[in-house]
Structure 1
Amino acid sequence: MCGIAGVFYPATPKPVDPARIALMTDVQAHRGPDGAGVWTAAGVGLGHRRLSIIDVAGSPQPMQAGPLTIVYNGEVYNFAELRTELEALGARFTTAGDTEVLLHGWRAWGPRLLDRLVGMFAFAIHDADAQSLTLVRDRLGVKPLHYVELSDGGVAFSSELKGLLAHPLLRREIDPRAIEDFMALGYVPDHACIVAGVRKLPAGSLLTLQRGRTMPDPRRWWNIDFSIRAKGSTRDLSAELADRLRTAVRARMVADVPLGAFLSGGVDSSAVVALMAEASPRAVRTMSIGFNEASHDESAYARAVAARFATDHRERIVAADDFALIDTLVGAFDEPFADASAIGMYRVCELAREDVTVALSGDGADEAFAGYRRYKFHAAEERVRGLLPEHLRARVFGALGGAYPKADWAPQVFRAKSTLLALADDGATAYARAVGVTTPATRDALYADPFRRALGGHRGEDAMIATMRDAPARTGLDAAQYADLHHYLPGDILTKVDRTSMAVSLEAREPLLDHRLLEFAATLPPSLRIRGGQGKWLMKKALEPWLPKDVLYRRKMGFVTPISAWFRGPLAGQAAALAKSPVLATWFDLRAIERLADDHRSGRAEHGRKLWQLLMLERSVARVFG
């Protein structure tokens, strides 16, 4: 895995200072501690930091072949097959890695190469003959890529925002809409950035900058389709799914450095470990973390799976008050990021890096196979919506929801207010609000009047609502999964995994995000995704030969971080300090924050997640703009 950066001048081929490119890559040294390189020519400069995984002693970057020069971050798992095909076409290779395969593949096929690639990647390729620079990002957005137009006419790009921040011509101004997006979702989505003017290349897209032409919009080269339905018996589809899982895992076990896997004891990571153990002649190295509070700890399940497959297992118990990582995470993410499970993710990456350079994770299956509980609720709500006309539904459920008391303290079965209000909305609006962190009403109550007016009606949920309404989908469940693959997955899950793993120079691979597996999963009828209250139903059936039922069918836990307890205990002072923050005063009513902190600390209300959001926002803004 690597870090890349560069500058291209579309209008006039101005000289590029190699020192500036080196500065942009050096701040990303954690992404590539094993080597560095800079290449410049008239109007272009490319830089690279390398974490050596394949062809450890060779494949330096930037790499050239004829008129093409590339900097590349990622792994192409089918590079050996592509190399054989290219050699048959006359290509001659001088290295043993996948970078040169990309160069020769681009010479042979141009952008059509992308359809042939199996992997995760972000790269920039300069064509001296065409006087162009093309930026590319993988199908799901596993690897990040940011870009911005500079005041001198150049376009700069970088794996991480900090690479752009190292360029002296970048204007550091806050985009207020990103504040709203973050408060709505808990992360800054891929269509936004906390720094005004900076953009993130969308997943599955490419952008070609041509000398003498204005900068176009990115062009999507891949999308997923939920409107097609697979045919076949449950047995046949289950067998095909098992085969695709096996293929995806084995493809990601190729490495010239030590390799292991994260193991939480849940379905997804256990499945990856089971299939790795089947393919490996040696004991698989596995790593897990647990918490010193039983209510947050599932390490016993990880140990049971490790014993079942005789893995070389290591675990570390993390104190439930492990909030000392706050500043480390702020530095790793650049933008505000409020998913507190990043703490656990960082710790397991840290543990893994002590023994391995590559670790496989189980991320992606929940989005692909409908594993989240919210999918079950959304599918049930959609069935109810289908029973009543929209105008009647809005009137009936709106009235019931307005009258029903708010009871956050009560057991889930009695908290019907949010469900009734959701049924009054259309499915896209209700789902977008359900996946959010704070409701529009809550945000309005926190915002200062000038900031509320400055937003001009912009809402953080709007992009997801539009995605669901335009989704290639047959059902509301299809549309929800489609939207999560385009918003939540790259914005939250993959950002979390990339930044925490790269912070410790570890490459994380996600076999359950193999695009061939996802394209198959999207065709499964809803009844094979959710059945009998079980999400990921067919996936679990397919894994029954490998995993015991107490692993497959137990309630999902995941990394749980006790942030609410922190803000009533050791972080209570920091919660109170938020109400005096000059940073937050720019956008928020500090009296409203004070009430929020007081109500949470006293136990009158549950606001831990909102306080965590505000804390991460304050720290991130102070670091980037302070």
Structure 2
Amino acid sequence: MCGIVCWVRANGQVHTDDALFKKMTRSLEHRGPDGEGFYVNKSVALGHTRLAIVDIDNGQQPMSRDTTVVTFNGEIYNFPELKQELETIGFVFETHCDTEVLLHGWAQWGSDLINKLRGMFAFVILDKLQNKLYLVRDRFGIKPLYWALADDGDLLVASELKALKLHPKLNTDLCEQAIEDFFSLGYIVEPKSIYKSVKKLAAGHYMEVDIDDFSSLSEQPYWVLKDHLNSDYEDVESLKHEFQQLLSESVRLRMMADVQVGAFLSGGVDSTVIVGSMSQHTTQAVKTSSIGFDLSAYDESYYAKKVASHFQCDHVNTSVSVNDLSLVDKIVDIYDEPFADNSAIPTYILSQATNKYVKVALSGDGADELFFGYRNHQMFLFEERLRKIIPSFMRNSLLSGVAKFYPESRFIPKLLRAKTTFEGLSNDKIDGYHNAISISAQKTLQTIYSDKFKRMLNKYSSLGLFRSLAKEVGEQESLKQVQYIDFKTYLPGSILTKVDRASMANSLEVRVPFLDHKLVEWGLRIKPKVNLGLRTGKKLIAKSFAKLVPSYILNRKKMGFTSPLDEWFRQIPLETLESRVLSQNLLSTDYFDIQGIHNILLEHHQRKKSWINYMVFGDFRIVFKQAEDG
């Protein structure tokens, strides 16, 4: 994988600050330690750091052919077929890499090329003939791309926010809506970033830029998720065969590389299916890696080792102590902006260990969103069925009262933890789902937001965003609306962001077979009942791969990839934690109620409640995720 940077001077000014541009590019060296390259043409400067995976000797970037130049981050898995088609037309290739296919493909088809691409990608193309620039991002947001207009009018583009922040004219005023996203969901929903001036190019979008005029910058979709959302597939026997074929092809394509390819192996169904499929496409032992904790409640490594033995993999397991806090500050630097997924730390450790053996690893990400694999999906189905039975007046009045007074404690047996369920049933379906997946209840946020910040939000909330997304596909059944919300928010904002930053910080490329767009387009048409029941999700995966995946994996309870952050943070003295959380940076914003934050920290240390997510907000940190009570 790679890091890319683009800097276009406003009003046709010529580039003169080579030192700053090179510094911005080199800030992404972790994404590509195998080489760097720069291209400057009048007002346009393109930078690149390379992680060499395909055509190691000849794939240097930025790459130019005739009047087209590209800096590219990603992999185009169908580039051999596109190359053959272009050669038939008459194009002559100097390399065997996918980057050159982008150049000749753009010369032949223009922006229509994007729809032909099968892969994960973020790239910037300079078309000197038209004097235009094109920014492009893959369909699901696997690869990141930030862009901004600086205060001096210059256009800045980069793979990560840290490169843009080096520009002295970047406006770093905080985005209030992004803060609300973060404190309610644990991540920032694209296209927002933590800064008002910086946007993330949305998944499945591209932007055409007139180099002489930045006055009308707008993103355009080339792939629209809701166009593929349906419920017309339900013949399980037919679906099983199609699924096997589609996933096998997706895995085979993602094993393409001039370096060895391995896999993350958690011991869950998704990663086991990937590793099992990989073993069918190679005669060599698949290199797999897993992570374990010295606290059994968080440790899946036993199952990972068992699966590795079953498929005769070359397996490595890394063990982590629950008392290890050494990476907390490192994670702050990696993610650049607020990010509260508590599996970021183990994902970083796993990537670091995996990089010692391979440059590329396959993962099972995306399966839960596509095939309804989260426990929240099961709870949503349960609540939807109850909503059909219980009259609305009872749900709105009686159950809301029960939810208010029902005890809230992680120490209550799971079968009796019904507070979230009661709250969900007393709300609209989308409100209930938002409440279930939020890391902070709305009532809690009201205790830590200052009156000033509440006014600044001007009634914006992540809940309102969820409602708007649900309306976009309002003709679909409820579970399809939830799936749409997951794909538009949680998948790109949390899951894919987590894996990209953690892996690329260790110069490791992670590929995601479940997010092949042909597989996703097929999967989005499957009726929810094919995958989801009250006790289990991803039923089609289990049925389709019953002969491949050992029964002890298919029948075990989903554990989830997480870390013991609640215990980690109890290792820090309360006074020390408060001094870091209540830093001058936080206090200077005047966005938060200090007493409210103090109460949360005190409750956590006294074990009255468990606030288990490590939250990062610029230079201040806060423990702020209440333990699941549902």
Following TM superposition, by how much is the alpha carbon of 1:594 offset from its aligned partner in structure 2, in angstroms?
A: 1.7
- 1:228-276: CA deviations, max 9, x gaps? 3344631111111111111111100011112111111111111110000
SS at match of 2:225: coil
1:465-544 matches, within 5 Å, as 465-471=467-473, 474-531=476-533, 533-544=535-546
1:115 aligns to what? 115
Write the letter of the residue equivalent to 1:197. Answer: S
Write the letter of the residue equivalent to 1:62. Answer: P
1:145 aligns to what? 145
Following TM superposition, by how much is the alpha carbon of 1:17 offset from its aligned partner in structure 2, in angstroms?
A: 3.4
- C-alpha distance in 1, partners of 2:419/2:621? 35
- 1:315-374: CA deviations, max 9, x gaps? 111111222101111111111211111111011101111111111111110001000010
CA contact (8 A) 1:37 1:61 kept: yes
1:592 aligns to what? 596
TM-score, length basis structure 1: 0.95
Following TM superposition, by how much is the alpha carbon of 1:20 offset from its aligned partner in structure 2, in angstroms?
A: 3.0
CA contact (8 A) 2:59 2:97 kept: yes
CA contact (8 A) 2:324 2:568 kept: no
- C-alpha distance in 1, partners of 2:548/2:574? 46
2:351 aligns to what? 349
Q: Which moved more, 1:457-466 or 1:49-58?
A: 457-466
- C-alpha distance in 1, partners of 2:621/2:206? 29
Following TM superposition, by how much is the alpha carbon of 1:620 offset from its aligned partner in structure 2, in angstroms?
A: 5.7
Following TM superposition, by how much is the alpha carbon of 1:605 offset from its aligned partner in structure 2, in angstroms?
A: 2.2
Q: 1:378 to 1:55 in 2, by over 3 A?
A: same
CA contact (8 A) 1:191 1:200 kept: yes
CA contact (8 A) 2:262 2:360 kept: yes
Following TM superposition, by how much is the alpha carbon of 1:618 offset from its aligned partner in structure 2, in angstroms?
A: 5.6
Following TM superposition, by how much is the alpha carbon of 1:12 offset from its aligned partner in structure 2, in angstroms?
A: 3.1
- 1:381-401: CA deviations, max 9, x gaps? 223334466566434433443
Q: Which moved more, 1:160-169 or 1:464-473?
A: 464-473
Q: Which moved more, 1:218-227 or 1:349-358?
A: 218-227
1:203-602 matches, within 5 Å, as 203-213=203-213, 214-225=215-226, 227-231=229-233, 233-387=235-389, 393-471=395-473, 474-531=476-533, 533-570=535-572, 572-578=574-580, 580-585=582-587, 586=589, 587-602=591-606
Q: Which moved more, 1:418-427 or 1:61-70?
A: 418-427
- C-alpha distance in 2, partners of 1:506/1:278? 23
Q: 1:132 to 1:56 in 2, by over 3 A?
A: same
- C-alpha distance in 2, partners of 1:166/1:258? 35
- C-alpha distance in 2, partners of 1:97/1:289? 33
2:66 aligns to what? 66
Write the letter of the residue equivalent to 2:533. Answer: R
Write the letter of the residue equivalent to 2:511. Answer: R
CA contact (8 A) 2:583 2:620 kept: no
SS at match of 1:260: strand
Write the letter of the residue equivalent to 1:608. Answer: I
- C-alpha distance in 1, partners of 2:393/2:602? 40
Write the letter of the residue equivalent to 1:312. Answer: D
- C-alpha distance in 1, partners of 2:483/2:103? 34
- 1:35-64: CA deviations, max 9, x gaps? 111111122111111110000000211111
CA contact (8 A) 2:186 2:340 kept: yes
Q: 1:374 to 1:621 in 2, by over 3 A?
A: closer
SS at match of 1:374: helix
Q: Which moved more, 1:183-192 or 1:266-275?
A: 183-192
1:22-41 matches, within 5 Å, as 22-41=22-41
SS at match of 2:12: coil
SS at match of 1:461: helix
CA contact (8 A) 2:403 2:423 kept: yes
CA contact (8 A) 1:262 1:359 kept: yes
- C-alpha distance in 2, partners of 1:359/1:221? 28
Write the letter of the residue equivalent to 1:115. Answer: N
CA contact (8 A) 2:7 2:45 kept: yes
Following TM superposition, by how much is the alpha carbon of 1:571 offset from its aligned partner in structure 2, in angstroms?
A: 5.3
- 1:503-534: CA deviations, max 9, x gaps? 01111111111111111111111111113521
1:3 aligns to what? 3
Write the letter of the residue equivalent to 1:321. Answer: N
CA contact (8 A) 1:227 1:472 kept: no
Following TM superposition, by how much is the alpha carbon of 1:172 offset from its aligned partner in structure 2, in angstroms?
A: 2.4
- 1:87-125: CA deviations, max 9, x gaps? 111111111100000111111111111111110000000
Gapped regions of structure 2 (runs ≥ 5): 623-630
Q: 1:389 to 1:208 in 2, by over 3 A?
A: farther
CA contact (8 A) 2:379 2:534 kept: no
Following TM superposition, by how much is the alpha carbon of 1:292 offset from its aligned partner in structure 2, in angstroms?
A: 1.1
- C-alpha distance in 2, partners of 1:420/1:148? 43
2:50 aligns to what? 50
SS at match of 1:156: strand
Following TM superposition, by how much is the alpha carbon of 1:582 offset from its aligned partner in structure 2, in angstroms?
A: 2.2
- C-alpha distance in 2, partners of 1:109/1:390? 55
- C-alpha distance in 1, partners of 2:325/2:318? 16
Write the letter of the residue equivalent to 2:335. Answer: F
Following TM superposition, by how much is the alpha carbon of 1:212 offset from its aligned partner in structure 2, in angstroms?
A: 4.3
Write the letter of the residue equivalent to 1:136. Answer: V
Provide the alpha-carbon RMSD of the alignment. Answer: 2.0
Q: 1:473 to 1:316 in 2, by over 3 A?
A: farther
- 1:154-193: CA deviations, max 9, x gaps? 2110000011011122122222332222111111222221
- C-alpha distance in 2, partners of 1:311/1:520? 30
1:605 aligns to what? 609
